[in-house]
Structure 1
């Protein structure tokens, strides 16, 4: 978190979560194996229980009033982006690239919704292994960072107002931090619209997880039916916390403290995932995850632009 607060790293959109998993992987493949027997249970607690708690508290970053600010058009754009990108990721990943379903879904969730946070939230539902989560996080970090620099460069050629550009960036760039950087590069109006649109995508995480859980169900075994639905309660609590935050009952100082605690919890979870990730497993995954992420990046950039323009015309919004 100290590194993430440095201006030089902030300019690259590197959040505490990204840095935590990178440092976790570095330690996990050097020092950690010698202390894994003693520290392993704490690491596993961090990447499971603390992860879910962190996702729940993430709701304090979102209000329903902010969501209403982007209107029906903004909601329509985000719903189409989330559904189409995740669907394409699963189909292309498993059918064309012959990736396993868990990796395809994790990359799809990270690209479609909110980067590393979405990957981590999806992991308990798809039951992905640590190295698959790390691979997925790596892909969304790489292409989200690319988008953070490419979008401001494209702005003069897009024919969009600052507000419309912000909605476009918020609906298609991976990480919240990257959205902020891409928006502020154009102006405060663009940054505000980008963050609000991005927070709307974050809000879609809960219904997405519920639908995904209903499709996947519980693992078969010992008298348990495959069709049984596993409810990700932390997703429902995330919505509840967002609703509480929308009432503006907490003092600003309390809310800031809770968000700081949430960042600590999520950073611990990311570091724990990194500690449980072996470089050999990532190498074994090969180039296919990166190819899938690159395809999704192109879909988000080009298809997302066409979608934003089309929806704006449909709803009569000004571009």
Structure 2
């Protein structure tokens, strides 16, 4: 597809992404830990619903490009935040905890969402993976494999952002009553809080040891997105009747490659910071593009059940995750 065809929609999504990044840097919003991704999708949804069907058709190719190609590039660059040395440093107990939390949350999300609440597969799976792995980034990556409707993606992102934000206020209040040392609390927070930014906020409320440990455990949990996407791709292929075929998400392989590069090569700090800034902008632009195609009427049509599912998973992460931490780490 030629660049002139992409320019109108891509320019709008990029401007909204830049606005999200700029707003997230404002001191008042930074204290609230409202990430650029969250603000970008909100801005996109506002514009998309105000303009509605009056949005010119010429915008569609660029918006679709942002949702697909920019998103995948952003997921790949996200790997520069993780090194295999960090994963090794957390020890087998914390790694086992990450595996237990991700596996149990995905299983519970699908079971409760499908059996109890009667949700469709995509909505249940998107909400579950956002809660289990890494919030909005996991929902977006999973959407590229499922090719779910924008409204379902938006409600999954909104629900995990809502309850992940509650963690910022809840976890520091719980800390004195949990009987966990700062390091153990960092493991607990990293294994159970939704977004990386939220993990940082929770850890900072306790101290540097809790923060450092929480971020490492959380980034290790993020890496589990890769095997999840491979399993999901294989499941999709089997459901489609493609014997022996597995839909390999190439960006997941590239994500692992970026992690390996970050483990072996020490980039100059300034260059690394610029690449991470670019990554944030790419993901924010993809979120804005998603928001532009999300109509409130479609989200309302999904009803309160996705929010209830996210609430139940929030409770499982806080309570079940605590007991798993005591069992595997404490």
Q: 1:260 aligns with which of 277, 283, 300?
A: 277
Deviations 1:140-167 (A, max 9, x none): 0000011111000000000001111111
Residue 248 of structure 1 corresponds to 265
Residue 29 of structure 2 corresponds to 9
Deviations 1:21-69 (A, max 9, x none): 0111000101253233121110010001111111011001111111111
Residue 316 of structure 1 corresponds to none
Range with bigger deviation, 244-253 or 176-185:
244-253
Residue 247 of structure 2 corresponds to 230
Matched, 1:129 2:149: yes
Residue 311 of structure 1 corresponds to 328
Q: Secondary structure at the match of 2:50?
A: coil
Q: 2:220 aligns with which of 178, 189, 200?
A: 200
Distance in 1 between residues matched to 2:51 and 2:85, nearest whole Å: 47
TM-score, normalised with respect to structure 2: 0.91
8 Å contact kept, 1:110–1:137: yes
Range with bigger deviation, 228-237 or 163-172:
228-237
Q: 2:42 aligns with which of 3, 10, 22?
A: 22
Distance in 1 between residues matched to 2:294 and 2:127, nearest whole Å: 16
| Matching of residues 201-216 of structure 1 within 5 Å | 201-216=221-236
Deviations 1:143-192 (A, max 9, x none): 00111110000000000011111110010000111110001001111111
Residue 288 of structure 1 corresponds to 305
Q: Secondary structure at the match of 1:2?
A: helix
Deviations 1:90-146 (A, max 9, x none): 111011100000000000000000000000000011221111100000000000011
Instruction: Quote the offset at 1:218 in angstroms.
Output: 6.8
Q: Secondary structure at the match of 1:68?
A: helix
Distance in 2 between residues matched to 1:227 and 1:274, nearest whole Å: 36
| Matching of residues 82-101 of structure 1 within 5 Å | 82-101=102-121
8 Å contact kept, 1:218–1:230: no
Matched, 1:270 2:290: no
Instruction: Quote the offset at 1:249 in angstroms.
Output: 3.5
Residue 198 of structure 2 corresponds to 178
Residue 5 of structure 2 corresponds to none
How many equivalent residue pairs? 310
Residue 89 of structure 2 corresponds to 69
8 Å contact kept, 1:219–1:226: no
Q: Secondary structure at the match of 2:22?
A: coil
Distance in 1 between residues matched to 2:307 and 2:39, nearest whole Å: 19
Instruction: Quote the offset at 1:212 in angstroms.
Output: 1.5
Instruction: Quote the offset at 1:7 in angstroms.
Output: 2.0
Q: Secondary structure at the match of 1:137?
A: helix
> Following superposition, which runs of at least 4 residues in structure 1 exceed 3 angstroms of deviation?
none
Residue 131 of structure 2 corresponds to 111
Distance in 2 between residues matched to 1:62 and 1:82, nearest whole Å: 18
| Matching of residues 130-169 of structure 1 within 5 Å | 130-169=150-189
Q: Secondary structure at the match of 1:3?
A: helix
TM-score, normalised with respect to structure 1: 0.95
Q: Secondary structure at the match of 2:137?
A: helix
Q: 2:314 aligns with which of 290, 297, 318?
A: 297
Q: 1 or 2, which has the higher helix percentage?
A: 2
